[in-house]
Every structure is written in C-alpha cells, then in structure tokens.
Amino acid sequence: MKYEEIWPQNKSEFERYMLGLIKGDGQVEDKRITITDGEKNFLEKIAKLVMKYLKLNPKIRKRKNVKAYTLRIYNKDYVKTVRANMTKEEIDVNFIRGFFDAEGTMYTYKQYLIIEMCSSNRKILEKISNALKQLKISSYIKRHKYFHKYRRKTYSKYILVIKRKESVTRFLRTIGLRHTKHLAKINPN
C-alpha cells in the first residue's frame, strides 16, 4: 500500500507542525530559529511552507564538516511567538507530525514495521504517547543508556515505540509521512 505525504493545510496547522519540528531538530536563538536535517530537499519543502504560511524568507545552508543542512528563519517576532508556544507544550496531531519528522525512525523487524521517536526528554514522549492513545494508537516508552566515548559519560535517552500492526497502520494514516527518509522506507520504488 502506498502512503501519500500529509502536510499541514493552513497556517494554524503549520505553526503546530513547526513547533514539533523545532522541538526535535531545532534551536531557538535570540534573532533566529534553525532546523538541521540531513536532507536538503526536505528543508526546501519546509522553506516553501514557511514562505506560504508565515510570510518569511528562510535560508538554507550546508553545514561545514557534516552531511547536514540548516534552515534559518530570521525574525524576532516569530522567535517570540515560538518561545511563548513552546512553554505550553500542547500536543496535537500536527505537533506529533513535526516531532516525528525530526526525531522519528521506521524500520522492519521480522517483517513487521516498527515506528520509534527518540528524545532525552521523557516528559515530551509521555505527552505524545497520551495524545496517541487518544487516537487509539498504542505505544510504550523504553529507556536506553549509552556511553559517550568522547565525553566519557553515560547518558540516557528515551524511545517511544509503536509496534502493534493496527497501531502502526493507524499512525501512518493519521499522522502520516512527509520526510523523504520515511517515504522511501514505506514506498521503496
């Protein structure tokens, strides 16, 4: 079965989507917001939507010494709006879409599709899990410890896992896919 890209359809949906994306792969600074990703074409789609819905002109640059690109949005008023909305942490479908595009992954294990979202912030994953439960998508959160060899320190990250077949199908139909890396896994041709 082919899955189509599901993008926000209006300014309000797009703003919620952006909050999730920024919460995952973004950085809020004094005068700008940056979002980093490994795929330039994904950031180009985001840039077009920023121009369409937010009426701002973002820039995309290749990062030095890494295979990544950064989308930069320079606007003090938008930075203030994002900061104010970030503190609320209201979780809805569009926020989850953005967060999944930033921190989500999909893979097949024993012929079953598994969906995961990763964060060092357990509380945000718990809120997402509760929102998914409202959509009848079952998930659980597991803790993963890892040792950072350069910092010589053990860290924990948390992983929200969706693995029941009906929950994975409901996630794909409700939350959907937008990122090229996810679409390539589900629509291989």
Residues 6+ apart with CB under 8 A from 156: 120, 143, 144, 145, 146
In the chain, where the domains are located: 11-88, 98-186
pLDDT at residue 189, rounded to an integer: 54
Write out the DSSP string of 49-66. HIIIII----EEEEPTTS
Q: Which of 159, 120, 160, 112 is nearest to 137 (CA)?
A: 160
- In this prediction, residue 2 carries a pLDDT of 61
CATH topology assigned to domain 98-186: Endonuclease I-creI (3.10.28)
pLDDT in tens, 39-77: 999 999 999 999 999 999 999 999 888 889 999 999 999
Query: Contact at 8 Å (CB) between 134 and 143?
Result: no
Question: Does residue 1 have a pLDDT over 60?
Answer: no
Task: Please give the C-alpha separations between residue 110 and each of 88, 106, 118, 142, 163, in angstroms, as whole numbers.
Answer: 39, 13, 21, 20, 12
Domain 11-88 has CATH 3.10.28.10: yes
Domain pair 11-88 / 98-186, same fold: yes
pLDDT of residue 187: 65
pLDDT at 126: 96
DSSP state of 141: E
What value does the mean pLDDT take over residues 121-148?
92
Burial of 33 (0-12, 13-18, 19+ CB in 10 A): buried
